[in-house]
Amino acid sequence: MKSMATVIYHYDVLVVGAGHAGTEAALSAARLGAKTALLTTNCDTVAQMSCNPAIGGVAKGQIVRELDALGGAMGQAIDATGIQFRLLNRSKGPAMHSPRAQADKKGYQQEVKRIVEEADNLVLRQETVEDLLTEERGGVLHIIGVAVRGGAVYHAPAVVLTTGTFLAAIMHTGEAKTPGGRAGEGTTHGISGALHRLGFRVERFKTGTPARLNGRTIDYSQTQIQPGDDDPQPFSFLTERLTGEQLPCWITHTNEKVHALIRENLHRAPMYSGQIQSSGPRYCPSIEDKVVRFAEKSQHQLFLEPEGRHTREVYVNGVSTSLPRDVQDAMFREIPGCQHAQIMRYGYAVEYDYCPPDQLHPWLETKPVRGLFFAGQLNGTTGYEEAAAQGLMAGTNAALMLRGDEPLVLRRDQAYIGVLIDDLVTRSVDEPYRMFTSRAEYRLMLRQDNADRRLTPLGAKVGLVGLRRQALLATKEAEIARVTERLEATRADGVSLARLLSRPEVTWQDLTERLPELAIVPREVSQQVEYDVKYSGYIARQELQVERQKRLSMKRIPPHFDYTLIVHLRVEAREKFSRIRPVTLDQASRISGITPADVALLLAHLEGKGV
């Protein structure tokens, strides 16, 4: 009997997984002209929101604005499908302002899928990847493609893995364990096996999700309404204004009865029974963790968030849990407004494989295998926004590699995305990584409002950004310059209006009373002029710090440098330098546990050897 021939497909870039990282990776590679295939186990779950139905938030909103400035899809998709928009931290300075939006969960997913389907150079395929194919050339391992279930093979010189929580995943609800990376879906073992075989360090993390309720059965009279902003601001710099009707969210609380019930059943919670051994996200704890770690608190705030315009399903933000079903039933009967609520989906925890990200170069290519890139939760992160940012950068650098161009690596002073990736590859992770404004030392420069001015020129330089976006930015910059010049040329009370605006107590509205023509200046222009003037001194000081760091970053370290040659270097420093392989002296200085003395020894050796 004649055997069937293996079907082989040829592409430039393969992206495995079509979540938030995978879609941005595939779209960015395709925008740069690479013939790209996006492979997913289910075409109906492209960009699915596995957990909360929202985009943005503190620091995360800045990332989405940066993604948009680089031509990413997330900002435009949430503008088209959001059901409530809020700017967080309005009472604080502009460096802390963070946009957030509730999403129509299905609408968002369908919008991203549409963007993917309509993209040039990109095909979406329903395939289950079971193995990674490599070959050795000159002692270096190269990726050459993937094998999928059913016997077909996809060949490509660049592969981006964005497998989310699906690698060897197990879901936990109380004592019950089910294979799967998301409720109603399976798991992937083949890729985990391939990563082990190729010599990657593979470890385990866990994450969790709360129950979902039928909104029709919630008594909202016992809760507090949380409306959206009266002047909702879009995420995308291409969106002129938001016109859709906003839906409210609602606030309720746990209480001592709920806490007592949880304490009585901790022995049945997988994290406390020993059923789960891996680490979870410290900054997004389960309700079990909150009750134990904050025992002095009599209540915890919960947000009831609608999942869409055409569903009554409600996400209960703040009560992530893996407690057994009967305990979840009893718990909600004690929460104000939820006493008679119907649970549509029970909360659960997911335990899954990830690869510690110190195995990556700063451009997200793996060190063990040339042409293989990792992005998203596979790198130990948590959050749609962090995943999407890594996806865009990995897809971009996969395509740039094929063109023979230098990779795009954003510095910490250029973007939150730069902070995120530098933290991952330089310091690695011991718990799921989440972005915060406090992680960014130059956050006054990295505001959400100026992401286009910071990053769109960089995106245009490598080919990520279209002509329309470039033209809009050029017009905006010209208007900012014109208005700034007008303020400097107009005097009042013996000083220029620009000098007057620099005073903390003076607002843009105050200036319009002195110069009425300022009243018609577009908000996106007046805001930039005001921030440029008010914070120029602070920004100038940060720029001096940046210049000092740049001098360190210009001192490059050879990729195969032998750290054993530095005789007096501490054993810990030698081990960390050898494992992480920093690209520059600047990166070396940020490795956890590395001291200034270690860096000084390394610098002296590099300069002494004339490297």
pLDDT one-digit tens code per residue, 416-431: 999 999 999 999 998 8
Amino acid (1-letter code) at residue 533: V
Task: Name beta bridge partners: 14.
Answer: 37, 159
**Minimum mean pLDDT among 118-132, 180-194, 532-546, 570-584: which range?**
180-194
Q: Are 67 and 24 in contact (CB under 8 A)?
A: yes
pLDDT tens digits, 253-267: 999 999 999 999 999
Please, what is the average pLDDT of the chain? 93
Helix (H, G, I), strand (E, B) or coil at 480: helix
Predicted pLDDT of residue 278? 67
Helix (H, G, I), strand (E, B) or coil at 35: coil
Question: For the CA atoms of the chain, what is the radius of gyration?
Answer: 25
At residue 335's C-alpha, the angle toward residues 330 and 341, to 5°, is 70
> Which pair of structure tokens corresponds to residue 504?
């903390």
Predicted pLDDT of residue 3? 56
pLDDT tens digits, 301-311: 999 999 999 99
Rounded-to-integer distance, Cα 505 and Cα 492, Å: 16
Q: Which fold, 554-608?
A: DNA polymerase; domain 1 (1.10.150)
**Residue 104 confidence class, pLDDT cut points 50, 70, 90:** very high
Predicted pLDDT of residue 586? 87
What is the reported pTM?
0.93
Q: Are 8 and 152 in contact (CB under 8 A)?
A: yes
Mean pLDDT of 25-42: 97
**Residue 1 confidence class, pLDDT cut points 50, 70, 90:** very low
pLDDT at residue 89 above 70?
Answer: yes
Q: Are 36 and 30 in contact (CB under 8 A)?
A: yes
Residue with tokens 């509205």: 509
Mean pLDDT of 181-187: 69
Rounded-to-integer distance, Cα 400 and Cα 385, Å: 23
Domain residue limits, the chain: 212-351, 466-540, 554-608
Predicted pLDDT of residue 551? 77
SS3 for 416-447 is: HHHHHHHHHHHHCCCCCECCCHHHCCCCCCCC
**Residue 344 confidence class, pLDDT cut points 50, 70, 90:** very high
**Cα–Cα distances in Å, from 116 out to 76, 77, 112, 203?**
13, 11, 6, 31
Mean pLDDT of 151-171: 91
pLDDT tens digits, 233-282: 999 999 999 988 999 999 999 999 999 999 999 999 887 777 776 666 67
Q: Are 372 and 366 in contact (CB under 8 A)?
A: yes
Predicted pLDDT of residue 190? 85
Own/partner pairs, 405-411, CB within 8 angstroms, 24+ separation = 405/462, 407/361, 407/362, 407/363, 407/365, 408/363, 408/458, 408/462, 409/362, 409/363, 410/455, 410/458, 411/553
- Cβ neighbours around 467 below 10 Å, total: 8
Whether 554-608 and 212-351 are alike in CATH topology: the answer is no
Report the DSSP pairing between strands 176-179 and 153-155.
unpaired
- Cβ neighbours around 256 below 10 Å, total: 11
Question: Exposed, middle or buried: residue 54 (CB in 10 Å: 0-12, 13-18, 19+)?
Answer: buried
pLDDT at residue 71 above 50?
Answer: yes
Q: Which fold, 212-351?
A: Elongation Factor Tu (Ef-tu); domain 3 (2.40.30)
Q: Which architecture does CATH list for 466-540? A: Orthogonal Bundle (1.10)
Mean pLDDT of 104-126: 98
Predicted pLDDT of residue 610? 46
Q: Are 442 and 472 in contact (CB under 8 A)?
A: no
pLDDT tens digits, 345-381: 999 988 889 999 999 999 999 999 999 999 999 999 9
Containing 252, the helix (H) or strand (E) segment is strand 249-253
Mean pLDDT of 545-550: 81
